[in-house]
Structure 1
Amino acid sequence: MKYRREFFRQLIHASGIIFIIISTYLNSLQMLILSVLAAAAGEVIFRIDRIHYIPLLSGILRGCRRNTSERGFIYYFLGMAVTYAIFGFSMDIANGAILILTLGDSFSTIIGREYGKHRLPFNRDKSIEGSLAFAFSGFIGALFIIGPLPALTGAVTGALVEAYTPVEDNLTIPVFAGAAILLSGHLMGAP
């Protein structure tokens, strides 16, 4: 049952791809505003849910909660907002970093919890299998938006950040992945 709940939580997390689709119609400022509004709406719903049951939403919220973080979904939207604020000059970089977060974090949790046998020496809560799943899925997802080297460096950086960040990696992963994408693009001679 616990695995099923986490799988559902990660499925909701992966639905963040909807933001990538929406971004094809909006600019970075509009995406920044949308992300902040989603975080604010999430906080309001979270607070109301603590007092009153909200049909449909309460079930989703309660299914997505972890013992370590009740507001992970809010940090997810804030991580998107920060990413659009920093890398908004290039929607490809911003969206590549967000895809790395969205897919990488979801697959690392699912694979790591189900198949993770080899613990990372510096973080016993994480597994090598989960980190490899993060890097692979983040890389594949980012390839739809950016080139192979930026996708690879962004995904590997995201996996390392996820492995080292103790909590709320939804804020740190897309920022560091975006920086790696930008840096690798510059090293390749991209403008």
Structure 2
Amino acid sequence: MFPENLVLSDVCATGFSTAVAFTCLSFWGEVGKRGILDQTLIRKLVHINIGLVFMLCWPLFSPGLQGAVLASLVPGVNIIRMLLLGLGVYHDEGTIKSMSRHGDRRELLKGPLYYASSITLACVFYWRTSPIAIAVICNLCAGDGMADIVGRRLGTEKLPYNRSKSIAGSIAMATSGFTASVVYMRYFASFGYMEESWGMILRFLVVSIASAVVESLPISTDIDDNLTVSLTSVLLGTFIF
């Protein structure tokens, strides 16, 4: 934002990105509080929206560790927020409704906390020059979010090995995670952060399919899929990118 002073530039970028993130959260919180949309749908729209919008802000930061660390403070603040809300230190009905399955504040200490932690770690360790960061956030946000939305509406045909998951949901997850990954690859490539190629597109497809398969397994009922999807994207991405 201010090329002549990278510290000031990154501080301003952090402030702007934080304002954008909390505006999004506040918007969905108000929607949840007013009962405009179904609570489950709002929770998944938040799930899709926040991480992808945050990643749009990455070009505002400087390259290297300083930019990555300051950018990671944006979701990092949300980690603290989830802890305070989940532990009952303070109460925000709109946020709890928009980010929990059953309106229980303690739910924020699981899925939402894993979600914020995954995005924070992807940002600080991989940053915008790594396709792994794109794969983690896109499969976690777009992929997992759309799996639930589509599965609830079109998921009449269940998977034979997991009756709580549907074929439509798994297809939606792989398709959405892959599509978002390609879009962000092109977005970052337009800034010169990486070089887009058909080989990278194919690798994104492999990671998205693998993430969808892992999310569909019965183990997802015991281990939160915000955690399993992120780990799958990181581990497989480390080997193929």
Q: Same fold (TM over 0.5)?
A: yes
Larger radius of gyration: 2
Structure 1 residue 93: Cα displacement: 1.9
Q: Which residue of 2 aligns with 1:174?
A: 230
- What are the residue-to-residue correspondences of 1:38-187 with 2, within 5 Å? 38-48=78-88, 53-54=91-92, 58-67=93-102, 70-71=107-108, 72-84=111-123, 86-88=125-127, 90-146=129-185, 147-164=200-217, 165-166=220-221, 167-185=223-241
Kept in 1: contact 2:76–2:116 (CA 8 A): yes
Kept in 2: contact 1:28–1:88 (CA 8 A): yes
Q: Structure 2 vs 1, CA of residues 89 and 113 (structure 1 numbering), >3 Å: closer, same or farther?
A: closer
| Identity %, equivalent residues | 25
* Structure with higher RCO (Cα < 8 A, 6+ apart): 1
Structure 2, unpaired ranges of 5+ = 1-34, 62-66, 186-199
Query: Residue 66 of structure 1 aligns to a residue in which SS?
Result: coil
Structure 1 residue 75: Cα displacement: 1.4
Kept in 2: contact 1:38–1:77 (CA 8 A): yes
Structure 1, unpaired ranges of 5+ = 186-191
Query: Residue 109 of structure 1 aligns to a residue in which SS?
Result: helix
Q: Structure 2 vs 1, CA of residues 12 and 90 (structure 1 numbering), >3 Å: closer, same or farther?
A: same
Task: Give the Cα–Cα distance (whole angstroms) in 2 for the partners of residues 75 and 34 of structure 1.
Answer: 15
Tell me which moved more, 26-35 or 4-13: 26-35
Task: Give the Cα–Cα distance (whole angstroms) in 2 for the partners of residues 91 and 25 of structure 1.
Answer: 17
1:30-54 Cα shifts (integer Å, max 9, x gaps): 34443332211221133347xx653
Provide the TM-score with structure 1 as the length reference.
0.80
